[in-house]
Structure 1
Amino acid sequence: MTGLATAEDATKPLPLMPMPAKVERSQAQVLFPEGTALRFDAQQAGVAKVAKQFADRLASERGLHVSESPSGATIQFAIDPKLKLGDEGYRLLVDKDGANVTAATSRGLFYGSVTLLQLMTPDDGAQGAVSVPGVRIEDRPRFRWRGLMIDSVRHMQTIDEMHSIIDQMAMHKLNTLHWHLSDDQGWRIEIKRYPKLTEIGAWRTPPDAGEDGAPTRYGGFYTQDEIRAMVAYAAERNITIVPEIDMPGHAQAAVASYPELGVTGKQPPVSVDWGVNTYLYNVDDHTFTFIQNVLDEVMALFPSRYIHLGGDEAVKDQWEASPAVQAKIKSLGLKDEEALQGWFMARLGRYLQSHGRRMIGWDEILAGNVPASATVMSWRGLKGAVEAAQKGHDVVSSPAPDLYLDQMQSDRADETTGRMPVRDLSSIYHFDPVPSELTPKQAARVIGAQANVWAEHMPTAAHRQHAIFPRLDALSEVLWSPPAKQDWNGFLQRLPTQLARYRADGVKYADSAFAANIVLDRNEAIVSGKATVSLNNQAKFGELHYTTNNTAPKLDSPRYDQPFEVTLPAIVRAVAFDAQGQPLAGERAQAIDIAHLATRLSGEMPNCPGNNFRLRVQPTPDATSLSPTYAVNLFDNCQMYPQARLDGVRSIHVDAVRLERNYSLAHEQKLVVERPAQTAFGELVIHKDTCDGPVLASMPLPDPKASGRRIPLTATLPATTGVHDLCLAFTGPISGPLYGIAQVSVIPQAAK
């Protein structure tokens, strides 16, 4: 059943993700055929469950079935309380006798089974018997909080999707699902005592309701039975679900349901705006009774040691304007509204503590005298992590933008929705949860990290899978593997196997890190009729092959070694392949002709100078397609067409689109640039060189109520020579629509 490995086999990266703490390899190769014996002591608590889960997954992924009758190599699971690898550690031995997984607890045994399963699924979709290299692995995690936050408020996930996310988390050895269940845009958890929270608070009317097939209502909630089942499903996979009920801000859905909970007593709608809304809970005893009653039901549903109370982005305008709140501040002897929030959070933290639970909140909770047991989730960079650790609080590092998976993972023109700046695969992999300013004693307070999946711009499972995978692989290695085992090049070599597993599981992962970039000087090509083409990809990994005859690139197509020249018109198509000859990404193509060279797509047009904020959004807030997308700056509705060659150009064509301005910017609203309009509904104005430069064209915009969303605009340009930046600025009131640009074309005469 065994044989000697070839040199190639011995050096081939183990198909493991994340990399274990300690691995010793042997020359043995152990064959596990159909009917391999599975052995375990059913009297040991938890062992049978782990063994069955392993067997089921092996059958599902490999088509390989184990039995309980001995047949050659065996697979054995056992609990050994004397094993000194912690609650989540394990030992795995693969030798001539088979595979043996041992751990001190069933949790460690489960993670050992995941490693063995990965060793037994090393190739792309292969089925049946498998040969596994001989190894001795002793493994344990670096951090005890290895998390992923899922936002179910802005856009919900189905039960099946949540199960899929939990399954993938387990296979990545993550152990904490932070579930964001309440916010301004919806209340997603059934609370029996307060039915209006889901009758009213779970539903919003989109700003584009009924337009072009847009939904007239968006929302939903998870019943308590569904939540109990979800908690149990996660627990079976050694994942704890930590619920978040946000307070004192992000409370608009709750106040919409029960206006007496708010400061003004007025009933707002459930918000349709992304961003920072201004509705707060009031601070009277009735509201605390409500919150405590809600927390009682939450604690009954979630056995988690931690309950997340939010605490972030509580804009104090309503408290500042309320005589009742001001009187409360005075009666408590507090300095100001920030101190009141501290008192608010501390009171509820003590309530949780009295019920045997621990409060966790975003780093704003540090402003108050929260219990020493409170854990701080640092999101405004890592400054909160440093302050919290220095004050003796446990810390979970979760900084924006570093671990926010709603950040785009490339700036490619074909990327889908998200925020800028880019947080690519490499930046996630090289993130360190422990701030360098901390002493060793303080650093021990950092119990882990998590990535956050905020869902404003992720309306579907496809959006979320694109955002999460494969960046979750990078996060898993940061959180599990010791720093000495973290190796970016080794990670890249192991990743293709993981991508194959995603394909087998139907996961729509992003290929942005490996997609071919086709680079050329557009203006020089327009002038000369020829283009010098360079190829690369973000990860600088894989072997790039290309074609120039409009056929699909294959392994026998030209390999890219150096820049090459093509004559216009041409189409360059390129793909990166891994060491096994499998594509790492979908094919990317670039048409190289006058029309395409003179066109810029939305994602290729940078912001106008002055503000770096940038989003890529779908056509409507709840659109379900991955494309088209539009790059916008909420603070300045303006984009640049860089380096336009205007020799011989007599017109400009812009495919514009009307978007919903459903963004609440709170105190930052004053930073929004408003350009006065000269016509009824504003214009798109084209400036030469800078946004204060000469006006080359002004194109009036149509009545939003009488036009579709797609707005074709064409204007004549004055005769101009040379290369110039073009500033495309929209005018009109900032209370009106936001406009995006799909593409801009300046078409010169063909070079002679």
Structure 2
Amino acid sequence: MRIFRLLLLILSLPIGVFAQQYEVQLIPKPNKITYGEGRFTIGRHIALFATENFADVTALLSEYPQIQTLPVEVLKKIGKKHQHGIRLFPAEAADNIAQGAYRLEIDDNGILLKAHEPAAMISAVYTLIQLGLLQEDPQSVPQLIIDDSPRFAYRGLHLDVSRHFMPFSFLKKYIDLMALYKFNYFHWHLTDGAGWRLEIKQYPELTRKAAWRTHNSWKEWMANGRQYVEQGTPNASGGFYTQAQARELVAYAAKKGITVIPEIEMPGHSEEVLAVFPQLSCSGQPYTQGEFCLGNEETFTFLKNVLDEVLAIFPSPYIHIGGDEAEKKHWKDCPKCQALKEAKGLKDEHELQSYAIQQMDAYLQSKGRKLIGWDEILEGGLTKGATVMSWRGEEGGIKAASMGHDVIMTPGNYLYFDSYQTDPRTQPEAIGGYLTMDKVYAYNPVPAALEADKAKHILGAQANIWTEYIPTYQHVEYMAFPRALALAEVNWTNQELRNWPDFKERLQRHYGILQQLDVNYYRPSYHVVSTVVFNKDRMSNTVKLSSEQLVPNIYYSIDGSEPTHRSTPFTVPVEFTTKALIKAASFIDSARVSPVEEIKLDLHKAIGKKVFYNNAWQGYPAQKELTLTNGITGGLSYHDQQWQGFTNDFDAYVDFERREEIKSVSMRFMQIPGPGVFFPGEFRVLLSDNGKNYREVGVLKNLDDHKDPTLKFKTFAVTLDKPQMARYVKVIATNVNKGFLFTDELVIY
């Protein structure tokens, strides 16, 4: 009877209950999954069939432990006896599978993968491999049907091997991870001022000397003369890839559906070339510039000869030539460059650079290839076939797409993975910036400002990893993963199906995959992050506490004591209508697993008062005149629209419109020397009754070391010995380091 009642209960449950227990946590998220009700077991003697066009793809199934030893039967014709087992078959008209799409079907008959072309079949295979990695027992997989295709044709990851040379074996591992998450373009940044990394047989000096430098650390090398040395010198540091290795990597990647795009820098970022071939510079002397002399015909001969060897190695339809950050002052002073400019009727050095880019574009097109360059190649005009990588924000991409050029979006604020990914105070030194995984995931490669009919020119998006501050392959993994998984879904999954909470939940299973694959990925932090929203009408602060954990376990105190697991648990945002000091931390059971985060809430006199600027902000307006008295403090990044930036001395005042009692004046500043953000030298507070005659009531001098590369915050506070009455409160903070001053709130009591 009990069994009968249980059977009735099971029959009464909706099918979705069964589907839920089998729900798969794939990344990127497929565009359609239909769940079945059972599981399929991959037996040791199961048959593996593939038609001739997919025979090579079956080799990838060796990455699935339960399939790797199965023999493959290659079919010229599909028969009735081939309806069971693991099958890689071409899509037919009745399947209604679009070009570039695939279908993965698992049922009682086995596993069926269908697509029109090998590239789509490779995607199907990696979905199956990932599905297996997600199972506790990869031999048993859920029955389902996945219909899937990529949103964008270009799904890229970049790696700079010039600043720090990376082992060849790691490049293969990088390709493996890219393939698993459906990237299909590897942008290999092979040359730059810090080292030439590809063997060129016609110019052996490039790898005999330009590939080796005096210091292993890029930072130390930059600070100590930037010299190159001969290979074999006892202290030489660097390396290069032989043409045989490059061909091997190209073939290895191609089998996994990935195209390798080489980047050979020109006309700038070429200090290493000009150190060994100074005759190609404007000065004729080594170590004097990083730009080729464009008025020297030898320059174009050299570049074309190099490209000839590059083209023979890389079958990629795209060849990247850089084209960014060329310093043009040498061309202005060079007789050869000026003669070329006059002969070609060019207006300025921007058009001179454009002329050079167009020459290389024409050469590549004559070889049946397409040129890619960073968005600076738009300056001065661009040939019709060139493709633009937009890195200085989205503006270059919008402009290029509007002109009819294909575009790959790679804006620094969203896709530069050399930026800090969490609180910089807890991380190895990086070049600067602050790019969390949720910000990567929030990116949409089609800009809202782009006209709809031009969206077809957005080919996709790419993340860039520049290695100035990333000296080892383990550090590359740490910076790339798991942020690369967020980008994988940005590029693959339809925009309307993407959802951050859903992605974050699926990601938890992929930490296990990354562990299994021995990836030194960034682990989600337990550090408490606070969000404070000020309500002007209620004169209150609402505080939300979170961490990077899927389910944070945070406790907090408001009485000044250190939080423990017996303190108040944080569950929902809390509103405060008074000044408060919150201390919060994360716990696992009774053990604290994060530092104590202090959140100071101010409800001060200056809130809502207008700030008048004697020196206006520059570049970072934040909320403009409302920024410094809106009751909202800034976060960890000066890009969060709450930090206001100044390149001159900070000089501003508040008008209370009547005399008020002033007890203290304070401002918080940020310092992170890498991108040029410093504390002020002096912090001065002045009071006035008429706005003309001011009296100084306090001066603070900064004693912090501005060479310390770590992110710091410091509150400069002047507390008066006795309260004073004043209508105007003025603050002057001196910009002694001539960088940026960033401040978020002017607090007056």
| Counterpart check, 1:478 vs 2:490 | yes
Residue aligning to 2:155: 146
Residue aligning to 1:25: 35
Residue aligning to 2:57: 50
**Cα distance in structure 2, aligned partners of 1:686 and 1:474:** 43
Determine which of 344, 349, 356 is the counterpart of 1:337.
349
Residue aligning to 2:281: 262
Determine which of 45, 66, 74 is the counterpart of 2:85.
74
| Counterpart check, 1:590 vs 2:611 | no
Structure 1: 5+ residue stretches without partners: 270-276, 521-531, 578-585, 594-607, 614-628, 640-646, 648-655, 664-671, 675-682, 711-716, 739-752
Determine which of 216, 222, 239 is the counterpart of 2:258.
239
Residue aligning to 2:188: 179
Written as runs of structure 1 = structure 2, the 5 A alignment for 1:119-198 is: 119-123=131-135, 126-127=136-137, 129-132=139-142, 134-198=143-207
Check the 8 A contact 2:91/2:97 in 1, yes or no: no
Determine which of 19, 26, 30 is the counterpart of 1:16.
26
**Cα distance in structure 2, aligned partners of 1:174 and 1:498:** 16
| Counterpart check, 1:326 vs 2:338 | yes
Q: 1:695 to 1:310 in 2, by over 3 A?
A: farther
Residue aligning to 1:501: 513
Residue aligning to 1:374: 386
- In the TM superposition, residue 210 of structure 1 has moved relative to its aligned partner by 13
Determine which of 101, 105, 112 is the counterpart of 1:89.
101
- In the TM superposition, residue 700 of structure 1 has moved relative to its aligned partner by 8.4
Check the 8 A contact 1:687/1:694 in 2, yes or no: no
1:161 alignment partner AA: F
User: Over aligned residue pairs, what C-alpha RMSD do you find?
Assistant: 5.1
- In the TM superposition, residue 552 of structure 1 has moved relative to its aligned partner by 11
Residue aligning to 2:269: 250
Moved more, 31-40 or 91-100: 31-40
**Cα distance in structure 2, aligned partners of 1:199 and 1:635:** 46
Aligned pair count reads 633
- In the TM superposition, residue 306 of structure 1 has moved relative to its aligned partner by 0.8
**Cα distance in structure 1, aligned partners of 2:44 and 2:96:** 33
Determine which of 536, 539, 547 is the counterpart of 1:537.
547
**Cα distance in structure 2, aligned partners of 1:396 and 1:357:** 17
**Cα distance in structure 2, aligned partners of 1:203 and 1:511:** 34
Check the 8 A contact 2:46/2:86 in 1, yes or no: yes
Written as runs of structure 1 = structure 2, the 5 A alignment for 1:99-118 is: 99-118=111-130
SS at match of 1:120: helix
Determine which of 361, 364, 381 is the counterpart of 1:352.
364
| Structure number, greater radius of gyration | 2
2:502 alignment partner AA: G
1:231 alignment partner AA: V
Q: Which string of whole-angstrom CA distances, capped at 9 and with x for unpartnered residues, describes residues 223-265 of structure 1?
A: 2121111111111211000011111111211111200111111
**Cα distance in structure 2, aligned partners of 1:416 and 1:689:** 36
- In the TM superposition, residue 546 of structure 1 has moved relative to its aligned partner by 5.6
| Counterpart check, 1:37 vs 2:41 | no
- In the TM superposition, residue 563 of structure 1 has moved relative to its aligned partner by 6.8
Written as runs of structure 1 = structure 2, the 5 A alignment for 1:393-408 is: 393-408=405-420
Determine which of 214, 238, 260 is the counterpart of 1:219.
238
Q: Which string of whole-angstrom CA distances, capped at 9 and with x for unpartnered residues, describes residues 604-633 of structure 1?
A: xxxx996779xxxxxxxxxxxxxxx999x9
Q: 1:730 to 1:195 in 2, by over 3 A?
A: farther
**Cα distance in structure 2, aligned partners of 1:476 and 1:488:** 13
Q: Which string of whole-angstrom CA distances, capped at 9 and with x for unpartnered residues, describes residues 115-144 of structure 1?
A: 122222225xx3453341x22222111111
| Counterpart check, 1:294 vs 2:309 | no
| Counterpart check, 1:199 vs 2:199 | no
Q: Which string of whole-angstrom CA distances, capped at 9 and with x for unpartnered residues, describes residues 88-115 of structure 1?
A: 3211111222221111122211111111
- In the TM superposition, residue 357 of structure 1 has moved relative to its aligned partner by 1.0
Check the 8 A contact 1:320/1:337 in 2, yes or no: yes
**Cα distance in structure 1, aligned partners of 2:446 and 2:125:** 29
Q: 1:96 to 1:722 in 2, by over 3 A?
A: farther
Q: 1:85 to 1:455 in 2, by over 3 A?
A: farther
Check the 8 A contact 1:408/1:423 in 2, yes or no: yes
- In the TM superposition, residue 592 of structure 1 has moved relative to its aligned partner by 8.3
1:333 alignment partner AA: G
Q: 1:514 to 1:234 in 2, by over 3 A?
A: farther
1:257 alignment partner AA: V
- In the TM superposition, residue 416 of structure 1 has moved relative to its aligned partner by 3.5
Check the 8 A contact 2:616/2:646 in 1, yes or no: no
**Cα distance in structure 2, aligned partners of 1:395 and 1:446:** 5
Check the 8 A contact 1:15/1:118 in 2, yes or no: no
**Cα distance in structure 1, aligned partners of 2:262 and 2:346:** 30
Residue aligning to 2:654: none
Q: 1:688 to 1:446 in 2, by over 3 A?
A: same
- In the TM superposition, residue 66 of structure 1 has moved relative to its aligned partner by 6.1
- In the TM superposition, residue 280 of structure 1 has moved relative to its aligned partner by 3.6
2:481 alignment partner AA: F
SS at match of 2:384: coil
SS at match of 2:127: helix
**Cα distance in structure 1, aligned partners of 2:176 and 2:119:** 15
TM-score (norm 2): 0.71
**Cα distance in structure 2, aligned partners of 1:210 and 1:293:** 29
2:421 alignment partner AA: Q
**Cα distance in structure 1, aligned partners of 2:531 and 2:648:** 28
SS at match of 2:416: coil
1:233 alignment partner AA: Y
Q: 1:478 to 1:571 in 2, by over 3 A?
A: closer
**Cα distance in structure 2, aligned partners of 1:591 and 1:444:** 46
- In the TM superposition, residue 638 of structure 1 has moved relative to its aligned partner by 12
Check the 8 A contact 2:526/2:593 in 1, yes or no: no
TM-score (norm 1): 0.71
SS at match of 2:356: helix
**Cα distance in structure 1, aligned partners of 2:646 and 2:200:** 38
**Cα distance in structure 2, aligned partners of 1:211 and 1:360:** 32
**Cα distance in structure 2, aligned partners of 1:701 and 1:559:** 35
| Counterpart check, 1:433 vs 2:445 | yes
1:267 alignment partner AA: P
Check the 8 A contact 2:684/2:733 in 1, yes or no: no
Q: 1:216 to 1:560 in 2, by over 3 A?
A: farther
- In the TM superposition, residue 438 of structure 1 has moved relative to its aligned partner by 3.4
Report sequence identity in percent: 31
**Cα distance in structure 1, aligned partners of 2:588 and 2:252:** 38
**Cα distance in structure 1, aligned partners of 2:573 and 2:330:** 62
**Cα distance in structure 1, aligned partners of 2:264 and 2:52:** 38
2:156 alignment partner AA: G
Q: Which string of whole-angstrom CA distances, capped at 9 and with x for unpartnered residues, describes residues 375-411 of structure 1?
A: 1212222222222222222111122222211222233
1:45 alignment partner AA: N
1:77 alignment partner AA: L
1:590 alignment partner AA: V
Structure 2: 5+ residue stretches without partners: 1-10, 73-80, 227-233, 533-541, 577-581, 600-614, 621-635, 639-643, 651-662, 664-670, 687-693, 711-716, 724-728, 740-749
Check the 8 A contact 2:293/2:299 in 1, yes or no: yes
SS at match of 1:148: strand
Written as runs of structure 1 = structure 2, the 5 A alignment for 1:666-705 is: 687=683
- In the TM superposition, residue 514 of structure 1 has moved relative to its aligned partner by 6.8
